[in-house]
Amino acid sequence: MQPEEFRHRAHALVDWMADYLRDVGSLPVTPAVHPGEIRDRLPVAAPDRGEPFPRIFDDFRHLILPGMTHWNHPGWFGYFPANNSPPSILAEMLTATLGAQCMSWATSPAATELEQTTMAWLAGMLRLPPGFTGVIQDTASTATLTALLSARECAAEGTRTVYASEEAHSSVDKGVKLAGYGLEQLRRIPTDTNFAMNPAALDRQLTDDRRAGLVPACVVATVGTTSSTAIDPLPAIGEICRRHGVWLHVDAAYAGTAAIVPELRAMLDGVEHADSFVFNPHKWMLVNFDCTAYFVRDVPALLRTFQITPEYLRTSADDGAVNFRDWGIPLGRRFRALKLWFVIRSYGLEGLREMVRRHVALGTAFAGWVEADPEFELLAPAPLGLVVFRHRPAGMTDAAALDAHNAALLARVNATRRVHLTHTRLGGRYAIRLAVGQRCTGAAEVALAWDIVREARNQVVAGS
């Protein structure tokens, strides 16, 4: 395809893209397909001859699109959001066109320096204390593994142990396993009634493990847990980590974005004790996935863990410049700083704060409706737009029955395909999660979600 054909095709795509951004709210949030259905419609082998682009684009619209879950639908309340935004999409268009490989400073100088700049901007926006240096990684899972590997590198020899609350994300389990600690060396610390880590329990476990001759290597504290956005108390945990000489990694994957709002920044108090910190601009900060911001205090420890420099990667700039390939697992790296730069500049700090405030207020409103209805139960505080609740019909007290009832209710809600919510277990109970955080979600969609939940309640009660 020559540049002029590309120009022609790309203009057509742009019109489709703008239409999609405008109209996505009118599509079903999730597709009505069963596993294997789409694959069955696709040829089993690659074509020998090239095909004209219009045919390929037609197939995208008629075979692929109807099988997609629309994460950027205003009725998206599942998991945590994976937002994109028009400025971020524009940046991705340029990144794809340059096709630059940002492994070393010399292989993409401007990309490396824009990454340094935007990471410093983020540190300032979150008011991280001085001493943190940032790098973009793909996901928080990878960043947490990076922290666990660095902590392993810094720990004494012996049987090393890792600590996280019962509510910490599954990426901690995965990282502990992959980094070779062994899952049996992960201590799950109990939480309080708000599902935040109990620091006294952490202190006791660390003390006991030391006495038993183990080597505590890393504590993972969570700011904004996946199930309920619980906030582990960083000041107390940080003090304990310092006293025990243990690496403290703070996982604020979702909630980190909210720390740009002054009245919400208190959740990061104590982050000055952290050795590493991660949050995902690709969740709530309108930056296309993937863009994880990983901040670390001891850069030499990071480099000791990851740096390998064969002759064919040496450049004349190695002494005076940062080579981000040594700051994580992959060698090759996309130019991800560009979308961060476009988004922060397009919205400005105030624009991003306004969005966070709007989402949090909408979550608070929904939580209020849940609390005001005697048949519904709020299962956790909702400080950051995530509402965790269940339906408790009068007279239904059996735990298993309540779980099954709420699973049926959620299935009914999602079967409308007008909104999409997901679930978790919290304090042993099946819980419905409504995460308000999609860029376009407004009061209308949140009200619609509540209507659909109550309608589904009526149907499930009538049907049971």
Site for its own copies in 59-98 (CB under 8 A): 60, 63-72, 78-79, 82-90, 92-98
Window 184 to 223, contacts with its own copies (CB under 8 A): none
Q: 420 CB contacts (<8 Å, ≥6 apart)?
A: 29, 30, 69, 73, 75, 76, 77, 78, 414
**Sheet strands side by side (includes 376-378):** 76-77, 420-426, 429-435, 386-391, 376-378
Beta-strand pair 386-391/429-435: antiparallel
166-174, 208-216, 356-364, 377-385 -> range binding its own copies (CB under 8 A): 166-174
462 binds its own copies (CB under 8 A): no
110: contact with its own copies by CB under 8 A: yes
Binding footprint of its own copies, residue count (CB under 8 A): 147
**Among the listed residues 42, 156, 400, 462, the single contact to its own copies using CB under 8 A:** 42
Q: Is 33 in the site for its own copies (CB under 8 A)?
A: yes
Residue 177 CB: number of other CB atoms within 10 A?
15
Beta carbon nearer to its own copies, 84 or 205: 84
Site for its own copies contains 406 (CB under 8 A): no
* Residue closer to its own copies, measured from CB, 4 or 398: 4
> Does the protein bind its own copies through residue 262 (CB under 8 A)?
no
Q: Which residues pair with 276 in a beta bridge?
A: 249, 296
Closest distance between its own copies and the C-beta of residue 362, in Å? 20
Whether 461 and 394 have beta carbons less than 8 Å apart is answered as no
Residue 404 phi, psi (nearest 5): -65, -40
Q: Which of residues 167-186 bind its own copies (CB under 8 A)?
A: 169-171, 173-174, 177-180
Asked if residue 114 binds its own copies (CB under 8 A), the reply is yes
Check residue 257 for interaction with its own copies (CB under 8 A).
Answer: no
Q: Which of 54, 58, 62, 124 binds its own copies (CB under 8 A)?
A: 124
Q: Which is nearer to its own copies, 124 or 368 (CB)?
A: 124
Among 27, 28, 53, 447, binds its own copies (CB under 8 A): 53
Closer of 117 and 458 to its own copies (Cβ):
117
Stretch that binds its own copies, among 237-245, 282-290, 364-372, 376-384 (CB under 8 A): 282-290
Residues 344 to 373: which contact its own copies by CB under 8 A?
344-351
Rounded Cα gap, residues 349 and 347, in angstroms: 7
Locus of tokens 């995460």: 435
Minimum CB distance to its own copies, residue 138 (Å): 5
Measured distance CA(2)–CA(330) in Å, rounded: 32
Per CB under 8 A, 161 contacts its own copies: no
Q: Characterize the bridge pairing of strands 376-378 and 76-77.
A: unpaired
Query: Is residue 107 part of the contact set for its own copies (CB under 8 A)?
Result: yes
Dmax (CA) of the chain: 75
Neighbours of 439 (CB within 10 A): 18
Distance CA 53, CA 57 (A): 6
Structure tokens of 30? 């999730």
- Residues 219 to 238: which contact its own copies by CB under 8 A? 226-227
Binding mask of the shown chain, residues 283 to 322, with x at each position contacting its own copies by CB under 8 A: -----xxx--------------xx-xxxxxxx-xx--xx-
Q: What minimum distance in Å lies between the beta carbon of 453 and its own copies?
A: 18
d(CA 126, CA 440): 23
Does position 21 interact with its own copies (CB under 8 A)? The reply is yes
Find all residues with CB under 8 Å of 230, minimum gap 6, and list them.
Answer: 165, 167, 191, 194, 195, 196, 222, 224, 380, 381
